[in-house]
Amino acid sequence: MKMTSLAKKYSDLAETKPSGADTDEYFPTLYFDEAQMDALGIDTAKVGTDMSMVAIVRVSSVSDSKNGSRSIGFEIIEAAIKPKERDAASILFPNEKSGK
Protein backbone atom coordinates (compact mmCIF):
# COMPACT_ATOMS: atom_id res chain seq x y z
CA MET A 1 0.00 0.00 0.00
CA LYS A 2 1.41 3.38 -1.00
CA MET A 3 0.84 6.38 1.26
CA THR A 4 0.54 9.67 -0.61
CA SER A 5 -0.28 13.23 0.34
CA LEU A 6 -3.72 14.51 -0.65
CA ALA A 7 -2.78 18.15 -0.07
CA LYS A 8 -4.15 20.75 -2.44
CA LYS A 9 -3.46 24.46 -2.60
CA TYR A 10 -6.05 27.21 -2.49
CA SER A 11 -3.89 29.16 -4.94
CA ASP A 12 -4.17 26.33 -7.51
CA LEU A 13 -7.93 26.89 -7.52
CA ALA A 14 -7.58 30.67 -7.75
CA GLU A 15 -9.18 30.91 -4.31
CA THR A 16 -7.97 32.98 -1.43
CA LYS A 17 -6.70 31.27 1.68
CA PRO A 18 -9.33 31.39 4.46
CA SER A 19 -8.58 33.78 7.30
CA GLY A 20 -6.85 31.94 10.11
CA ALA A 21 -5.31 29.31 7.82
CA ASP A 22 -1.62 28.77 8.53
CA THR A 23 -0.70 27.62 5.03
CA ASP A 24 -1.99 27.59 1.47
CA GLU A 25 -2.59 23.82 1.74
CA TYR A 26 -5.85 22.09 2.52
CA PHE A 27 -6.88 18.45 2.71
CA PRO A 28 -10.07 16.44 2.20
CA THR A 29 -11.87 15.90 5.49
CA LEU A 30 -13.97 13.24 7.19
CA TYR A 31 -16.58 13.94 9.84
CA PHE A 32 -17.44 11.47 12.61
CA ASP A 33 -20.33 11.95 15.00
CA GLU A 34 -20.12 11.07 18.70
CA ALA A 35 -21.28 7.45 18.23
CA GLN A 36 -18.67 6.90 15.51
CA MET A 37 -15.98 8.49 17.70
CA ASP A 38 -16.94 6.16 20.55
CA ALA A 39 -16.84 3.14 18.22
CA LEU A 40 -13.33 4.13 17.09
CA GLY A 41 -12.16 4.78 20.65
CA ILE A 42 -11.49 8.47 20.06
CA ASP A 43 -12.09 10.09 23.42
CA THR A 44 -9.43 12.78 23.53
CA ALA A 45 -8.10 14.45 20.41
CA LYS A 46 -6.92 17.97 19.82
CA VAL A 47 -7.02 19.91 16.56
CA GLY A 48 -3.75 19.39 14.71
CA THR A 49 -3.05 15.93 16.18
CA ASP A 50 -1.79 13.51 13.51
CA MET A 51 -3.47 10.11 13.67
CA SER A 52 -3.06 6.91 11.68
CA MET A 53 -6.16 5.48 9.97
CA VAL A 54 -6.64 2.16 8.22
CA ALA A 55 -9.97 1.76 6.45
CA ILE A 56 -12.00 -0.56 4.27
CA VAL A 57 -13.86 1.61 1.78
CA ARG A 58 -16.43 0.99 -0.94
CA VAL A 59 -16.66 3.10 -4.08
CA SER A 60 -19.96 5.00 -3.84
CA SER A 61 -19.70 7.23 -6.91
CA VAL A 62 -17.51 7.77 -9.96
CA SER A 63 -17.75 10.81 -12.20
CA ASP A 64 -16.11 11.49 -15.56
CA SER A 65 -17.22 14.86 -16.90
CA LYS A 66 -17.15 16.05 -20.51
CA ASN A 67 -14.38 18.54 -19.70
CA GLY A 68 -12.07 15.70 -18.61
CA SER A 69 -12.23 16.14 -14.83
CA ARG A 70 -12.80 13.05 -12.73
CA SER A 71 -13.85 12.35 -9.16
CA ILE A 72 -14.61 9.38 -6.97
CA GLY A 73 -16.55 8.99 -3.72
CA PHE A 74 -15.97 6.39 -1.03
CA GLU A 75 -18.06 5.01 1.82
CA ILE A 76 -15.99 4.03 4.85
CA ILE A 77 -17.13 0.51 5.75
CA GLU A 78 -14.68 -0.23 8.58
CA ALA A 79 -11.90 1.83 10.13
CA ALA A 80 -9.31 1.83 12.90
CA ILE A 81 -7.66 5.02 14.13
CA LYS A 82 -4.79 5.58 16.56
CA PRO A 83 -2.44 8.44 17.38
CA LYS A 84 0.44 8.56 14.93
CA GLU A 85 3.58 7.02 16.37
CA ARG A 86 6.33 9.54 16.89
CA ASP A 87 9.98 8.76 16.35
CA ALA A 88 12.48 9.08 19.20
CA ALA A 89 13.96 12.31 17.81
CA SER A 90 10.60 14.13 17.86
CA ILE A 91 10.03 13.03 21.46
CA LEU A 92 13.52 14.04 22.63
CA PHE A 93 13.63 17.27 20.59
CA PRO A 94 9.99 18.47 20.31
CA ASN A 95 10.92 21.98 19.10
CA GLU A 96 12.89 20.71 16.08
CA LYS A 97 11.19 20.38 12.68
CA SER A 98 11.12 16.77 11.49
CA GLY A 99 10.97 15.68 7.87
CA LYS A 100 7.41 14.42 7.45
As a whole number of angstroms, the distance between CA 83 and CA 49 comes to 8
pTM above 0.85, yes or no: no
- Per DSSP (E only), the strands in 5-93 are 8-9, 25-26, 51-64, 70-83
Residue extents of the structural domains in the chain? 8-92
Residue 98 has pLDDT above 60, yes or no: no
pLDDT tens figures, 17-33: 777 777 888 888 888 99
**For residues 70 and 63, is the Cβ–Cβ distance under 8 A?**
yes
